Structure 1
């Protein structure tokens, strides 16, 4: 039988397989490295994109917050201006009324009654004065009640005093002012 030495062929085949394994392993390692680099770059791009979106949203939120503050300031200014306008309109409407109130005060004061102070707060008029007697104060209250410009006179204080041999009464009364047009 003839002897053929197959050893170099087998060894050559083994070297070829090792070389193929090394090439495949190297290619797999390179491919894995490329995949890792691609994933890393892709994730980095996604993070940059998300960060830019977050910056955009923060900028928009800051702008909207600034606009909301401006709107609140404007609304506050509007409320203040409306309140001032209402006060001015109320004063404009009541301008002729105060003239009528003082005119009516002069008409209703009977002889023997002298007013020393008058104070108007809202619709309540506080009158202080001196009268020759309690009957004169009662007469004054009846006249105020009969007037179209006053209602509900109420005596707060009355004090009898004697000075220089004469008696007189110090009084304080409150009366509500009204407008004849408002009641009609």
Structure 2
């Protein structure tokens, strides 16, 4: 037994262990590479899927933006049509106003006075004329206020014209200027008063 040499066996075992070690290292490296590659593929697939979803959402948002613009254009067109319809309706409803304006002013004019000038600024009508007395001017204003097409008469000035006399009676004529508001619709003032009174008389809601 003393002459038995174990060095070749030990050397062979050492070489065998080295081979096993390097084999394990190689297999581990290969498995690690496969794992990294698989993880990369999974991550890439997840990113591609998310990019597809993002692109789909972007396309849908673009379509919605186009639809919103179309809706805005339709709303503008609708509002323009409504405005035109309102203008036409106003013109239709106020068409007889000018006729009634002259009728009411002529019918309300008492004897002993006449008009010289008439000027309209919006719904305000400015009148200038001559009258035999203050009472006739006052009567004329009351008749104008009683009209369903006129209201809110306001006397601006009244003065005596010493040069203007009637031929027969030599009565001094008085110059007058007054304003009166034209109602574009018959009974417009009464409707406004009714709405105001109904709103004022309505009890407040209490909780």
Give the structure-1-normalised TM-score. Answer: 0.80
Give yes or no for the alignment of 1:13 onto 2:19.
Answer: no
Q: Distance in 2 between matches of 1:181 and 1:51?
A: 65
Does structure 1 conserve the Cα–Cα contact (< 8 Å) formed by 2:151 and 2:180? no
Cα 1:125–1:51, aligned 2, differ >3 Å: closer, same or farther? same
Pairwise CA RMSD of aligned residues? 2.8
Q: Deviations over 1:10-58 (max 9, x none)?
A: 2222211111111111111111112112212321222222222222212
Give the secondary structure class of the aligned counterpart of 1:172: strand
Conserved? CA contact 1:115–1:127, under 8 Å: no
SS of 1:70's equivalent in the other structure is: helix
Give the direction of change, closer, same or farther, for the CA distance of 1:29–1:72 in structure 2 (3 Å limit). same
In the other structure, the counterpart of 1:175 is: 181
Structure 2 stretches of 5 or more lacking a match? 165-172, 192-207
Q: Would the alpha carbon gap of residues 158 and 22 (structure 1) be closer, same or farther in structure 2, given more than 3 Å must change?
A: same
Query: Gaps spanning 5+ residues in structure 1: where?
Result: none
Deviation per CA, 1:96-141, whole angstroms, max 9, x where unpaired? 34322322222222342214123263xx442321213453322321
Secondary structure in structure 1 of the residue aligned to 2:98: helix
CA deviation after TM superposition for structure 1 residue 70, in Å: 2.4
Deviation at 1:82, TM superposition (A): 1.3
Instruction: Give the paired residue count.
Output: 180
Which runs of structure 2 are paired with 1:50-129 in the superposition (5 Å)?
50-111=50-111, 112-119=113-120, 121=122, 124-129=123-128
User: Counterparts of 1:120 and 1:15 in 2: how far apart (Å)?
Assistant: 118
